[in-house]
Structure 1
Amino acid sequence: MTGGPVLVLGGSGYLGRHICTAFTSVGATVVRVSRPASQDGPGTAGLSTVRLDLAAADTAELARLCADTGARVLVNASGAVWGGTEEEMAALNADLVDRLADAVAGLPSPPRLIQLGSAYEYGPARHGQAIDENWPLDPATAYGRTKLRGSQTVLRAAAERGLDGVVLRVSVACGPGAPRAGLPGLVAAELAAGKEELRLAPLRAYRDLVDVRDVAQAVLATARAPARTVVGQVVNIGRGAAVPVRRLVDLLIGYSGRPLRVVEERTAAESRSDLPWLLLDVSRARRLLGWTPRRSLEDSLRDLLADAGGQGRDER
């Protein structure tokens, strides 16, 4: 970081909250941007909030936001996740990034733009294969396609317009606060609610699950890295290990100490990624950022469950 505030778009979201915490914990001044209707948690020293509907904000508004805050680092942690139409996802995952890149590139003193992409931008891999940053880009879902458009916008602006931009392709984040939209958050919420049965699509996939706090530390490391090291780069952020999602579910149930019968059925919502195997090669992150994931899957799931109110941490 080169002094000045850190601006976090989507700062009240799952990833955004942890990113804000990572920066404030090292003494940075953070301005989080969230929708007017969002609810903030307790106040934190060094953290302030700007209300803005990012989907509706034009290039001029985004440029003013950067200039008025004096941001030296801009983290785009906003976006639409699973659900909705491809057009709805495109509005935040791609169209917003187009306007954001234009806004930042036109500033006299532009901040570093850290774009949070997704591992679902990649094409499929066979069981046992690790996906590096040169893997073919062939997303199978609307989410992956729209995230890829956003990533390509940042990379193109870095190559053609000198934008100080970096793309972090993040695997499946889990840990405290995980939303119900994902499998870890859904199972934790059902356990906390005392449910006795959970119906899911067949649990056959393998996923690279990385703790959300480790993702936040990767963003912090990217903000601190020299421009010559990271500008125009794509960097994978994952735990570097693929876990059967059935094991994830079994661990959460075991840590809760509560019975939960899992029924796997075809009539439940099928996997939204269409990828039976997802494992990221994170060696570039170690080399360029000096970053490695620190938290084990077990600790991540215990903390997720404790945060949701389903015990977990006390069961160790």
Structure 2
Amino acid sequence: MTVVLFGAAGYLGRAAEAALRDRGVRVVRVSRTGPRDDGSVRHDLVHGGTDELVALLRPIAPDAVVNCTGLLDGTTAELVAANVTPTARLLDALPVAAPSARLVALGSAAEYGPVSRGVPVAENAAANPVSGYGITKLASTLLVRDAVVAGRVDGVVLRVFNPIGADLPAGTVLGRATDAIRAALRHSATDITLGPLDSYRDFVDVTDVANAIADAALAPEPSEPVLNVGSGRAIAVRDAVATLAEVAGFEGKILESAPVPSRSGAVDWIAADITRTRHVLGWSPHQDLITSIRAVWKNA
């Protein structure tokens, strides 16, 4: 098996590569800025044309293509370019360059927007994103779903909830908390300031996400174009941050007076219904929250 992995230098891309290689898969790493001396191929899905992408993919003849590129925050134009354009490029190029290849794209829980409190959200729920990030991720998902239904591509979108673990980006709530705690410990500060922590989120370990990506890339024939990837449980963000502080040995106050992040502030509770993913891929999450949080801090 040969898998072309876009965004190989990123947070989810690195984890996906490890999971694929563990299964004996040949991984062709593609990144926008990564060094070539590690065997990576450079290509920019945003600015590179379709012909250039076809020329990259055709000689490799991949069995699957995984897209781990994307942007959490930015201007509207930046979010469209980073989250929608790469999907469009791949959907234009794959039928020409590698018509039998499986496309695995990464969606987000942000596509759902507000959901019914206490009820894990399934893939057939109405999507009502409340941020530019969620809107652009939904646009990407719809493009893939339309292409799959029309028979133009063999593809699946994994709607990833809140991935956590080693090398967690600072743009996430636990990433911000990690940076704040690390700075407080360095300067012997007695408090840190974050935004409101009264929401509930579905945290899923990055290694579990990576295994879902590998499962989706290698599955004989996924029967559904959209699959949730989460733990299936909603955790109070305040509790998760408190656990992180305990693991880090920070005993100061955690203030919640910073502005609410526009990307997720309107969603006060969400958890994934992973029934469909279990059935289609045979995938289940294995890491518990405390293990994930310890990995976050150990690699901070």
Structure 2 residue corresponding to 1:69, chosen from 53, 57, 60: 60
> What is the TM-score when the length of structure 2 is the normalising length?
0.93
Aligned to 1:314: none
1:198 aligns with 2:192: yes
Instruction: Output the CA distance in 2 between the equivalents of 1:153 and 1:95.
Output: 10
Three-state SS of the structure 2 residue aligned to 1:241 is: coil
- TM-score with structure 1 setting the length: 0.89
Give the 3-state SS of the residue equivalent to 1:168 in structure 2. strand
Query: Aligned partners of 2:67 and 2:105: how far apart in 1?
Result: 5
Match of 2:74, as an amino acid? G
What SS is found at the alignment partner of 2:79? helix
The one-character-per-residue Cα deviations of 1:195-227 (angstroms, maximum 9, x if unpaired) are: 533211111110000001000000111122122
CA distance in 1, matches of 2:127, 2:7: 25
Q: Which moved more, 1:129-138 or 1:91-100?
A: 91-100
**Do the aligned partners of 1:207 and 1:242 also contact (CA within 8 Å) in 2?**
yes
Does residue 181 (structure 1) correspond to residue 171 (structure 2)? The answer is: yes
Aligned to 1:233: 225
Give deviations 1:102-121, integer Å, cap 9, x for gaps: 10022354310001111111
CA distance in 2, matches of 1:39, 1:138: 39
Aligned to 2:47: 56
- CA deviations on 1:260-316 (whole Å, 9 max, x unpaired) are 421111x534352120011110011111100000000110001111111xxxxxxxx
Residue 108 of structure 2 corresponds to: 118
Summarize the Cα distance change of 1:207–1:59 in structure 2 as closer, same or farther, 3 Å threshold.
Answer: same
Amino acid at match of 1:18: A
Unpaired runs of at least 5, structure 1: 309-316
CA contact (8 A) 2:204 2:285 kept: yes
Superposed CA deviations along residues 16-54 of structure 1, whole A, max 9, x for unmatched, are 000001111122111111122x469x96xxxx3111222
**Cα-Cα RMSD:** 1.8
| Map of 2:132 onto structure 1 | 142
Conserved in 2, the CA contact under 8 Å of 1:170 and 1:215? yes
Count of residue pairs the alignment pairs up? 295
Relative distance call for 1:174 and 1:233 in structure 2 (3 A) is: same
**Which runs of 5 or more structure 2 residues have no equivalent in the other structure?**
none
2:4 to 4, 7, 28: 7
Secondary structure of 1:106's aligned partner: helix
SS in 1 for 2:105: strand
- Give distance in 2, aligned partners of 1:109 and 1:131: 33
